[in-house]
């Protein structure tokens, strides 16, 4: 009899509240797709209006509420339905991976029973392929047509920000070789090395794979140095530096002249500052120089 009573009490306690559940993607999604998360109770009779979404910040290392926001692609919409709370992410990106959870603000439910199990999802993405030339500045990037002098070494490297490490391949148009590497090395280039080179960055999701093509032109042996891409970059940098120096000198001369003018020029005289008190006794002792008498104050 006591055992049956104990079981009945436990069942009553467990039935006094329902479990919060969160539903969402069970497989990775692609960047740009729409993602929908849903909060609901295992028992539909409980009030969903006291439930909210929370997301865990990997940078601040804590949970914080999810609010509606609309800013470019980084928008979220929270909608309360009859028996569930729905979070819509119209344009999924790498910053929306979560994890997320549902939390109840009801007074009769305390942690950890007031929160659902966390739910996270993977977002697959790949940015555009970028190229860099070893030994040269990446400030302005690599031009679409790279002009080099005969005998130069050309080392190009491609990279792409991605949800997973891409597989890289180099290929020259018209050739029968494929180089499985992110780095392309051409030693002592000649006219035979010029052509169209393509770097392919492959993702496990084929539709996300990207590529970048660059044209390499080998200049004649007697071509001046400034015709190469590196020579033009040097000239451009020098021109910018010269313009900057001229601007700084011009501003310095202008400010110096302005300061000198302000120091030598006289401003308007403040009559009130030049007035001195005149005492009645001193005026009466002076001989009169005019027939007109002015009243003394």
- CATH fold for the domain made of 16-124: Immunoglobulin-like (2.60.40)
Q: Give the model confidence (pLDDT) of 278-288 as tens digits.
A: 555 554 555 55
C-alpha 232/C-alpha 293 separation (Å) is 86
Average pLDDT in the 1-5 region? 35
- Quick one: residue 84, left, alpha or beta (phi over 0 = left, psi -120 to 50 = alpha)? beta
Superfamily the domain 130-231 falls into: Immunoglobulins (2.60.40.10)
Whether the CA torsion 44, 50, 51, 52 is positive or negative: it is positive
Q: Which strands sit side by side in the sheet containing 51-57, from one edge to the other? A: 62-65, 51-57, 100-104
Mean pLDDT of the chain: 78
C-alpha 65/C-alpha 49 separation (Å) is 15
Asked if pLDDT for residue 90 goes beyond 70, the answer is yes
| pLDDT at residue 182, rounded to an integer | 96
pLDDT tier for residue 242 given thresholds of 50, 70 and 90:
low
Token match 């001989």: residue? 287
| pLDDT at residue 46, rounded to an integer | 79
CA 68 to chain centre: 20
Q: Give the model confidence (pLDDT) of 186-215 as tens digits.
A: 999 999 999 999 999 999 999 999 999 999
Contact yes or no for 179/155 (Cβ under 8 A): no
Residues of the chain with CATH 2.60.40.10: 16-124, 130-231
Give percent of the chain with pLDDT exceeding 90: 46
Compare 15 and 161 and report the one with higher pLDDT. 161
């Amino acid at each position: 009899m006591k055992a049956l009573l104990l079981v009945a009490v436990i069942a009553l306690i467990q039935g006094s509240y329902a479990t919060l559940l969160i539903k969402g993607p069970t497989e990775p999604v692609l960047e740009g797709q729409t993602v929908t998360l849903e909060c609901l109770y295992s028992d539909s009779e409980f009030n969903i209006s006291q439930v909210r979404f929370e997301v865990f910040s990997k940078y601040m290392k804590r949970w914080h509420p999810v609010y509606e926001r609309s800013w470019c692609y980084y928008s979220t919409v929270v909608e309360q339905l009859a028996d569930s709370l729905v979070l819509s992410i119209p344009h999924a990106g790498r910053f929306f991976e979560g994890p997320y959870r549902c939390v109840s603000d009801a007074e009769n439910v305390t942690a950890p029973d007031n929160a659902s199990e966390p739910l996270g999802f993977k977002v697959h993405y790949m940015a555009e392929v970028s190229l860099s030339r070893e030994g040269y500045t990446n400030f302005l990037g690599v031009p679409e047509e790279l002009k080099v002098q005969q005998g130069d070494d050309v080392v190009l490297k491609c990279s792409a920000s991605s949800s997973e490490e891409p597989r890289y391949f180099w290929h020259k148009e018209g050739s029968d070789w494929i180089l499985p590497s992110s780095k392309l090395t051409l030693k002592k280039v000649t006219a035979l090395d010029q052509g169209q080179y393509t770097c392919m960055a492959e993702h496990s999701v084929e539709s996300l794979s990207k590529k970048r093509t660059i044209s390499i032109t080998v200049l004649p042996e007697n071509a001046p140095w400034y015709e190469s891409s590196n020579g033009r970059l040097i000239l451009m940098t020098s021109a910018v530096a010269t313009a900057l120096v001229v601007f700084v000198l011009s501003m310095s001369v202008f400010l110096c002249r302005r300061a000198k003018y302000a120091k030598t020029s006289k401003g308007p005289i403040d009559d009130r500052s030049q007035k001195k008190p005149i005492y009645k006794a001193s005026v009466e002792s002076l001989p009169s120089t005019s027939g007109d008498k002015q009243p003394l104050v």
